[in-house]
Amino acid sequence: MDGERVGTTSTTNTTSTTNGTADAAGVVGAAGTAGAPGLVRTAGPDNPTAPAAPTVPRILHRAELRGRATGVGVMACFALGWSAGGVGSLPVTAGRAVFAGCAVLTAVFAVLAARMTRRAAGAPEDTDLTPAVKRAAGRRFLLVLGAEIVAIFVIARVLGATGHSEAIPAVIALAVGLHFFPLAGLFGVRFYHLTGAALCLLAGAALLLAPLTSTPALWTLLPGLGSALTLYATAARLVQPRP
């Protein structure tokens, strides 16, 4: 019989709880799925020492994994190209050593990109990515890419025609940096803002410091090696399964 036993010195309340398991699977944007292994009492006035709910690694969907794999490969290849332009300002031996190191980095990222592509084959589909959504994203990407290419072509021609061809690498880095800002929103990759900002700062530094210090090497060193390092860092960040 349930009830309350009253004594002369104490009162004892007896309750019982049953253990269970609660699993929740859902997709919130590109965050993936979430699960809760077991009933977890939340902290509050009656239970100030309750354990926090366990952190569950988010699951990357197939489209996101493929997109990240492509991004890793593209970043690494363009980084190698930037490094080739930047090492020209270094002594021959140092330049060859730096370029060799960049070539190794690019090879490593190519392997990682291939592994991510294989992982994508077994990843779950994202039901939010309907064919219409994919087509719209594709059109926006082509628009951003086309604007970048046209801007680079026009500005490079103008600089060359006016006798300022030394500034072309810096202007290209600026255009590439600017194109990362719309891509951040398009692909939902927030750290692309940092990539874009870093490239724009490198371009601005070259445009300011090279003529100010009368150091011609800065025209290629800053946008070349600086952009290469920025893109390698972006590739490394893309490999991590975080938003």
> Could you report the per-residue pLDDT of 20-38, keeping only the tens digit for each?
433 333 333 333 333 333 3
What pLDDT shows up at residue 53? 52
CB 173 within 8 A of CB 167: no
What pLDDT shows up at residue 67? 84
Phi, psi angle pair for 22, to nearest 5°: -120, 125
pLDDT at 175 > cutoff 80: yes
pLDDT at 194 > cutoff 50: yes
What pLDDT shows up at residue 212? 94
Confidence class for position 58, pLDDT limits 50, 70, 90: low
Number of helices (H), then strands (E), belonging to the chain: the values are 6, 2
List the structure tokens of 47: 């239970």
CB 149 within 8 A of CB 157: no
What pLDDT shows up at residue 98? 96
pTM, two decimals, is: 0.72
Contacts of 44 (CB under 8 A, 6+ apart): 50
Confidence class for position 54, pLDDT limits 50, 70, 90: low
Tens-digit pLDDT profile for residues 199-232: 999 999 999 999 999 999 999 999 999 999 999 9
What pLDDT shows up at residue 145? 92
- 120: closest CA among 61, 58, 189? 61
Tens-digit pLDDT profile for residues 119-140: 878 777 766 667 787 788 889 9
pLDDT at 15 > cutoff 60: no
pLDDT at 50 > cutoff 80: no
Angle at CA of residue 223, ends 217 and 229, nearest 5°: 115
Confidence class for position 150, pLDDT limits 50, 70, 90: very high
Confidence class for position 118, pLDDT limits 50, 70, 90: confident
Average pLDDT over residues 63-90: 91
